[in-house]
Amino acid sequence: MPDAHPDSQQVIQDNRDHTLFSWSVQQAANPIHMTGGKGSHFYDGDGGTWLDFSSQLINLNVGHQHPAVLDAIKAQVDTLCFAGPSFATDVRATLGKKLREVTGLGKSFFTLGGSEANENAMKMARLYTGRDKIITRYRSYHGATMGSMTASGDPRRWPVEPGVPGIVRAFDPYCYRCPFGQNVESCKRECVSHIEEIIQMEGPQNIAAIMVEGITGSNGLLVPPDDYYPKLRALCDKYGILIIDDEVMSGFGRTGKWLATQHYGIKPDIVTCAKGLTSGYMPLGAVVVSDAIAEYFETHFLAGGLTYSGHPVSLAAAVANLKVYEDENLFGRTREMGAYLALRLEAMKAKYACVGDVRYKGLFSVIELVKDKATREPLAPFNGTSPEMGKLAGHIKSRHVYAYSRFNFLWVCPPLIITKEELDAGLAVYEEALALVDQMIA
Ligand code: PLP
């Protein structure tokens, strides 16, 4: 653990004076001065240690400062720091082959992150099908570039509306608050069948793709019923509509598999990925397309490119990061720790009045908070906050656990390398916070 930084307050002030922070009213931005990290922890300018219970932005899957990834980055920097996107490189070949193997799809196009990946996926789907509309779901986030932000369903899209044309939205498999008033045991999966009606009304011949998060992440971690994806796949096949599987957050081990949709036995046509592809060590995203789409672009112009598409240092970070997943059996470990986490979350649901629902797959999980278990009234309104959520988040932060919370949701998404002791330590702090909220709503 490092000593306190000699001038931490000044560093924070300079950051605030000279840079803009994302998704913030600037005067409300309250950054932590991060000075280093190791494994599941990072350090602040006061010399404090934090447990990273959200893997930064649910991307730092191998934890902070993994030596194997650092070494690979250093080696690539020494060999070849940059090659333009039209050059062949060793590392590009290696990662392309690996992504084909783990997704079961065809070829990869590289971007610098998830938003650009989704942007390019939508464009490729339009070029390949010759159709222009894309269906997305309301409780979704696909990125902050113009097209991906428009495609997102949640309120983060509102500032860019009307945005790019051609996005049509459908409802989500949100079984705890089913938009169709159904019960998951007895329903007829109206969350899929209503999409057929949307397809009819929009014209099947106009719809290029439906873009879905493998498992919805930042809108409350919506784990679909087991037959959701098989039914959606059948529906899309019926109308020649592509499935774009946005695995930016749910992919690369977060749920204990390469892709969240692999839990449900379906094959998408296009997979987009970023975050866990490099565990955030270097910026990288990818659009992995099926053999059929790759074949199409053998003879048709791929209209698009990026100066940093295929950046060798990013690709080297990805290759090393994926090797760490395999060498350290991190997906097996995620499934094991995830099973333990599931037990702990279910116990919290039984114990605390404010825990309405818990949802999980591997180390991808959320606690949904309510004011009243019987009515399911949310602890904070949609797109808002409340004194209770403020208290919850404030307490967790005061105990130096770094957690992601939004609206009435609190996530548990630690690095995949987390130990049971570290997981227990973070959950103990969460339980203190839940007890405080229970007192407030009693
Ligand atoms: N798609 C999903 C599901 C995401 O969660 C995110 C980011 O959180 C993105 C896309 C955008 O990725 P990026 O921030 O790398 O552009």
Q: Is the pLDDT of residue 43 over 90?
A: yes
If you count DSSP H runs as helices and E runs as strands, how many of each does the chain have, helices first?
13, 16
Can you tell me the distance from the alpha carbon of 69 to that of 180, in angstroms, rounded to the nearest whole number?
46
pLDDT of residue 204: 98
Q: How confident is the model at residue 2 (pLDDT cuts 50, 70, 90)?
A: confident
Q: How confident is the model at residue 331 (pLDDT cuts 50, 70, 90)?
A: very high
Tell me the H-state helices in 286-380. Answer: 291-299, 312-327, 330-351
Instruction: Output the DSSP codes for 26-85.
Output: GGG-----EEEEEBTEEEETTS-EEEETTHHHHT-TT-BT-HHHHHHHHHHHHH-S---T
Can you tell me the distance from the alpha carbon of 220 to that of 176, in angstroms, rounded to the nearest whole number?
11
- Give me Rg for the CA atoms of the chain: 22
Helix (H) or strand (E) holding 124: helix 114-129
C-alpha pair distances (Å), 150 with each of 119, 204, 236: 10, 21, 22
Can you tell me the distance from the alpha carbon of 385 to that of 252, in angstroms, rounded to the nearest whole number?
31
Ligand 1: which residue has its CA nearest to atom 12? 114
Q: How confident is the model at residue 228 (pLDDT cuts 50, 70, 90)?
A: very high
Atom of ligand 1 nearest to the CA of 143: 11
Atom of ligand 1 nearest to the CA of 114: 12
Amino acid 162 reads P
pLDDT of residue 254: 98
Can you tell me the distance from the alpha carbon of 233 to that of 382, in angstroms, rounded to the nearest whole number?
30
- ipTM passes above 0.90: yes
Can you tell me the distance from the alpha carbon of 39 to that of 417, in angstroms, rounded to the nearest whole number?
7
C-alpha 235: how far from chain center: 25
Ligand 1: which residue has its CA nearest to atom 13? 114
pLDDT digits (tens, 9 = 90+) for 160-175: 999 999 999 999 999 9
Mean pLDDT of 314-330: 98
Residue whose CB lies within 8 A of the most ligand 1 atoms, among 55, 122, 141, 145, for a mutation test: 141
Q: Which residues line ligand 1 (CB under 6 A)?
A: 57, 113-115, 118, 141-143, 213, 217-218, 246, 248-249, 274
Q: Is the pLDDT of residue 1 over 90?
A: no
pLDDT of residue 251: 98
Q: With contact defined as beta carbons under 8 Å apart, do 59 and 280 qualify?
A: yes
Q: Is the pLDDT of residue 198 over 90?
A: yes
Residue whose CB lies within 8 A of the most ligand 1 atoms, among 249, 254, 261, for a mutation test: 249
pLDDT of residue 220: 98
Residues in a beta bridge with 49: 43
Atom of ligand 1 nearest to the CA of 216: 3
Can you tell me the distance from the alpha carbon of 5 to that of 2, in angstroms, rounded to the nearest whole number?
8
Atom of ligand 1 nearest to the CA of 145: 16
Pull the structure tokens for residue 269: 């046509």
Residue 265, classified by CB atoms within 10 Å of its CB into exposed (0-12), middle (13-18) or buried (19+), is: exposed
Mean pLDDT of 353-379: 98
Q: How confident is the model at residue 431 (pLDDT cuts 50, 70, 90)?
A: very high
If you average pLDDT over every residue of the chain, what do you get?
98
Helix (H, G, I), strand (E, B) or coil at 110: strand
Pull the structure tokens for residue 412: 């548990």
Q: How far is the CA of 115 from the centre of ligand 1 (A)?
A: 6
pLDDT digits (tens, 9 = 90+) for 62-84: 999 999 999 999 999 999 999 99
Can you tell me the distance from the alpha carbon of 399 to that of 387, in angstroms, rounded to the nearest whole number?
18
Pull the structure tokens for residue 257: 């598999």
Q: Is the pLDDT of residue 312 over 90?
A: yes
pLDDT digits (tens, 9 = 90+) for 256-306: 999 999 999 999 999 999 999 999 999 999 999 999 999 999 999 999 999
| Tokens 């818990």 sit on residue | 358
Atom of ligand 1 nearest to the CA of 274: 15
Mean pLDDT of 249-259: 98
pLDDT digits (tens, 9 = 90+) for 82-140: 999 999 999 999 999 999 999 999 999 999 999 999 999 999 999 999 999 999 999 99
Please choose, from the candidates 356, 373, 338, the residue with its C-alpha nearest in 3D space to the C-alpha of residue 410.
356
pLDDT of residue 124: 98
Percent of the chain whose pLDDT exceeds 70: 100
pLDDT of residue 430: 98
pLDDT of residue 103: 98
C-alpha 96: how far from chain center: 22
Amino acid 303 reads A
Q: With contact defined as beta carbons under 8 Å apart, do 246 and 219 qualify?
A: no
Please choose, from the candidates 14, 23, 316, the residue with its C-alpha nearest in 3D space to the C-alpha of residue 157.
23
Q: How far is the CA of 117 from the centre of ligand 1 (A)?
A: 9
